[in-house]
Amino acid sequence: MPRPGRRRLGHGQWLARPVVEFLDSVAAAETRNKSLLCVGLDPDPERLPEHLRGAPDGVFQFCKEIVDATHDLVLAFKPQIAYFAAQGAEGQLRRLIAHIHDTTQIPVILDAKRADITSTSKMYAREAFEIYGADALTVNPYFGLDSLQPFLDYADKGIIILCRTSNPGAAELQNIMTEDGIPVFEVVAQKAAREWNGNGNILLVAGATHPGELARIRQIVGPMTLLIPGIGAQGGDVRAMIEGARGGGVIISSSRAVIFAGSDKNFADAARQAALATRDAINDAFHAVCNDIRA
């Protein structure tokens, strides 16, 4: 069962209600690090620094150095499981998550986009939360509630449902109009906010590359926290994203623009500078939007 707590609405704003441990840890990291930034850990083998390519624990070492260099600038880390599994580095992913938990107070979102029939979803949930030790997991809603329930039953974990994603082809399915005259992504948002969120542990993915749809999702879900990819390498506009997402919690993700800011042995220093610049740009845009509203 969720424990008593407060839910994040944005910088300095809180709403009393039950809340899961994941959102508590995100809120604490936001306050401590003055940050809305989540760094995605996508260790593409073709882009690793030359001295780590092919090394027995090169994937772990690369991500570890990024974590060590940036953990005071972020509110979450988000390793993408495919980059580890495709290199046979699942053990290195487990080590990485353990390292983050042992050396920082930053929560870990496992980006795996899991879901299947109920029995398989139970195994996916066990994989994410009991094998890897993740604090949150991205999931796919298109099997319906019965496939999501095994994840949602981990009431202290964040369950982050795909809603309106940041990739160019997302509209092919997510913007299809239903018989009721609303797009599919709005149906997902409505169900996530009203029918599925019995434990208060649902978040939604809403891409920064589509600020209009992002604003519509915010209207539907109210203060529910949104995981927002699409800034940095995908080109989402930070100011437009903040304007669309205002009124609730946000976790703003950047991956390649941070972790591959440098390519030599000083890559972690370059990542820190990129993370610092991104965090500050987000904060500047947030304060500018707030000032415009007050004016």
Domain segments of the chain as ranges: 3-294
**pLDDT confidence of residue 15:** 37
CATH code given to domain 3-294: 3.20.20.70
pLDDT digits (tens, 9 = 90+) for 218-262: 999 999 999 999 776 666 688 889 999 999 999 999 999 999 999
Segment 85-114 mean pLDDT: 98
- Residue of 113, 122, 191, 265 marked catalytic: 113
Torsion of the alpha carbons at 62, 68, 74 and 77, rounded to the nearest 10: 40
**pLDDT confidence of residue 20:** 56
**pLDDT confidence of residue 232:** 65
**pLDDT confidence of residue 290:** 81
User: How many helices (H) and strands (E) are present in the chain, helices listed first?
Assistant: 12, 10
pLDDT digits (tens, 9 = 90+) for 21-32: 999 999 999 999
- pLDDT greater than 60 at residue 19: no
DSSP letter, residue 2:
P
Closest of 17, 15, 66 to residue 3, by C-alpha: 17
**pLDDT confidence of residue 230:** 77
**pLDDT confidence of residue 6:** 35
Closest of 25, 27, 22, 23 to residue 10, by C-alpha: 27
Q: Is 113 a catalytic residue?
A: yes
Average pLDDT over the chain, rounded to an integer: 91
Segment 31-59 mean pLDDT: 96
- pLDDT greater than 80 at residue 57: yes
- pLDDT greater than 60 at residue 168: yes
Stated pTM of the model: 0.91
